[in-house]
Amino acid sequence: MLLTACSGTKEAPVSTGAAAPQATQAPAAPPQRDMQPLQPGQPAQKQPKSSMTPAPVQGGNPGTTPLAFNQPFRLNDLEYKFDAARGKGFVGLETTPAMKPTEGNMYFLVRYLVCNDGNSAVTVPNNAAVHLMNTATKQVNDIDQAATNANVQSGAATGLPDQLVLQPGEPNVQTLAFQVPSTTDPTTMSLLVTDPKDPTHVFQIVKLSN
């Protein structure tokens, strides 16, 4: 079913800091924007399910039933939540844009949180896990790898260039850039998310508009 969804023509393919303060009393589950990478030597700890709200639902069965944009979901050992998406005329900082799209196009930036609930590390290439799909034509766009890397390396977005290496229990925020025609209607677009361990069979469609 995924192979059918991905059979459309591919096109040249749309944003966190300081260490957490010491708690003086038992803290509640931190909001996702405050989740930080583990420090060197700190043992991996499983994140409580309550760290994503609302509670994650099971994705990928069959996956063709779209989920709402802010609804967390699971694909095997990975939990995902998409929390931001917008079109822009450049990537990078407002004062010093890093890249601009080709004439007649725009960048569409998508930010998501992902956490590995498994027992071993999972590598997620940026150009493999998340795709932009036209729900009417089933045409699928891969990310713009150069724009994604430039956006992250400029400091304008949270994430890593090229790929994420997900250690057990570590939440990660990643921002991806897609290049689409400036006339693109976001209400016709969805995200196609695949499980890196089984990308041709386990997948989930996420709506950009509710």
Task: Give the contacts of 140 (CB within 8 A, at least 6 positions apart).
Answer: 5, 6, 8, 10, 131, 132, 133, 134, 192
Element (H, E) at 8: none
Which pLDDT score, from 0 to 100, does residue 126 have?
A: 85
Confidence band for 210, pLDDT divided at 50, 70 and 90: low
Which residue carries 């009417």 as its tokens?
A: 136
Which pLDDT score, from 0 to 100, does residue 153 have?
A: 92
Which pLDDT score, from 0 to 100, does residue 197 have?
A: 82
Is residue 13 in a domain? no
- Residue 42 predicted with pLDDT over 60: no
- Residue 107 predicted with pLDDT over 60: yes
Mean of pLDDT values over 166-182: 93
Is residue 22 in a domain? no
Mean of pLDDT values over 157-163: 87
CA distance 30 to 107: 31
Is residue 149 in a domain? yes
Is residue 196 in a domain? yes
Instruction: Extract the tokens encoding 203.
Output: 């997948």
Is residue 69 in a domain? yes
Mean of pLDDT values over 101-106: 96
Percentage of residues in the chain having pLDDT higher than 70: 75
Give the number of other Cβ atoms within 10 Å of residue 57's Cβ: 12
Q: According to DSSP H, which parts of the chain are helical? A: 2-5, 126-129, 145-153
**Nearest alpha carbon to residue 81 among 6, 18, 187, 172:** 172
**Nearest alpha carbon to residue 179 among 132, 134, 137:** 132
Q: Please say whether the beta carbons of 80 and 113 come within 8 A.
A: yes
Is residue 56 in a domain? yes
Element (H, E) at 109: strand 105-116
User: Each residue of 46-99: pLDDT tens digit?
Assistant: 444 436 889 999 999 899 999 999 999 999 999 999 999 999 999 999 999 999
**Can you give the residue range of the structural domain that contains 107?**
2-8+51-207
Instruction: Extract the tokens encoding 173.
Output: 């925020």
Note the maximum CA span of the chain.
55
Which residue carries 């493999």 as its tokens?
A: 128
Is residue 182 in a domain? yes
pLDDT mean across residues, the chain? 79
Is residue 102 in a domain? yes
- Residue 158 predicted with pLDDT over 50: yes
Total domains in the fold of the chain: 1
CATH of the domain at 100: 2.60.40.1240
SS3 category, 57: strand
Cis check: omega of the bond before 54, within 30 degrees of 0: yes
Cβ-count burial of 26 within 10 angstroms (0-12 exposed, 13-18 middle, 19+ buried)?
Answer: exposed
